[in-house]
Structures are given as structure tokens and as C-alpha cells.
Structure 1
Amino acid sequence: MQKKTKQVISAVLVGTLLTFGTVANTQAFNLGRVLGGVLKVGGIGYAVDRYSDQLNNFINKLMRENDVEASYATKVVPIISVGDKGYIGAAQVIGPQAAVDEVEAVAQVEGSFNEKLFRIRGLVPVDSKNPTRLNRVSGVGVSAIIDVRF
């Protein structure tokens, strides 16, 4: 009887440790993810604002060196996710100078097609960094995507 009791107590103890250990780890992971996400969004916004001219010049040089330079105006702006209200990267936009000057960000809208076989990311040059007030800037396209690694 004592052996059976010890086995039951051991099983309950192991089950309890596994359950509470998993919950504690999950909560700590989520908190870190949230804080990391906030820092990442702020960091991307700062980096894009700080280095937009240098990034734009680098991309233009890269295109020129590969014989795909365009004769339109270009500018680097942040990519904002419409659903998340945060910066998620940067993009170079291209078009006539007056239209490019209007662009403040590129809005990313996402969806899936054919039971999620295809992931769709639409990139739209817009005149605001506010994801609740988006107006497409006509005549401007996206010519490069800049991934920011933290």
C-alpha cells in the first residue's frame, strides 16, 4: 500500500510541477515578446527616420550598379501594419517628385487565399503614418523593401 501511495504522490507532484512550470514559462515568454515587440516597433521607427536618406542613396546605387536605375524620384518611408498599428520595416517608394513628396508611409494589408495556401501582402503608398487615416498616393509604387534586423 505504501508503494502505491508513493507512486500516486509522485505522479501528482510531477504533474503539478509540469503544469505550473509550463504556465510560468509561457507567461514569462509572452511578457518578453510584448516588451520586445514594443521596443522593436519604436526601434524600427527611429532607425527608418534616422537612416532614410542613407538607405535611399544605397538602394539607388544598388539599382544603378545592376543597370535597373529608374529616372523617377525615390524616398524611404516606414511600413506600417494596418492591423497592428506599428512600424514593421521600411520601403523605398518611387514616382513623380510631387507625388513621392506626399508619401509618409507604406501601409501593409494582409490576407490569405485558397485556404491559406497563398499569403498576400499588399503594399500601398499612403499620405499618413496613422493607420486609421490612410489615403493612397496615386502614381507612386514600391521599388524596394528594407528588412530591419534587431
Structure 2
Amino acid sequence: MSRVRLVLAILAIAVIATAGVLAARTLLGEHAADTAAASQTAPANTNGRIPDDRLVEIETGHRLIAPAADAFAQLKQAAHDAGHDLSVNSAYRDLAEQAKMIDLYGLLEDGGRAAPLGESEHGDGTSVDLTLNTEALMWMREHAPTFGFFETISGEPWHWTWQAG
């Protein structure tokens, strides 16, 4: 993704949330400062702005919202019982982490792998990216829906999202 598109995305957040507070920083190219300011001004309980007390650690450094975390614990145990150990690579992402993903991998709309700021399923605290071998992936496709987890992004077999049922 080009820096111009990232700046425009951050600028849009600034105009909506703070009537221009981020605009000056964006023009200066201070992406980290822009993202930090956006996360401070966005309303709580929105994508990328979930309060810490609503998140539960599922593995060291990786968190989900409580109902998704509970379902994931059950899924992980069932996978383990079936001989598959699920390793989490990513879970909840705040706005700053999503901005880093955009810089690293580019936006989906540009052929990259990252959703725009405020639109990632990870920002809702319901998605995990897992390390899966072929057998574990086949097991997940057969059994994960029982626990509310679904493959929601075509071409990303590692990405699983919990959907309340």
C-alpha cells in the first residue's frame, strides 16, 4: 500500500473523530503519531479500540473478546485431543498494529493482505491467525464451525473468525 493511501485513511479518521487534529501530523508523515492519536480519539468498543478489560489472553501476547476466547479454548482443546496443536500467530489488533500490517503487507484492495484501518476482523477481537499443517487445516475445516470459528477470508487458510451463534 502506498504511503499516500495510508495518510488518506488516517486523515479520514482525523476529520471524523477530531475535526482535523490528525491532519497536521499526517501532512508531516508521522504515521506512528497519527495512529496513536487515532487510537486515543476513536470511540471505545469499536474496531481496533476494544478496552483491555474486554480482552482475554488466549496465548502469550494474543487476546480475543471473552466469548471468542472461551470458544477458542474449547476449539484448541478439541484440536489437541485430536492430535493437532494450534499455534496462534495473531489475534486482536489495535489501530497501531493494523497500521503496521498495512505498511508491511499492503491493503487488500491493492492486492495486499491487510484490511483498512478500523475494518479488520482482528480489530473486533474475534479473529485468529493460526499455524496449520495440512492435517490440522482439514481438521479445522471439519470441526471449527462446531465452536463458532469459520474461514472468512478467501486465500487465507490460517485466518479463522469466531461468529456468535
- Asked whether the two chains share a fold, i.e. TM above 0.5, the reply is no
Structure holding more helix per residue:
2
Q: Which has the larger radius of gyration?
A: 1
Give the number of the structure whose residues are more often strand, by fraction: 1
Structure having greater relative contact order (Cα 8 Å, sep ≥ 6) = 2
Give TM-score scaled by structure 2 length: 0.27
- TM-score (ref. length: structure 1): 0.29
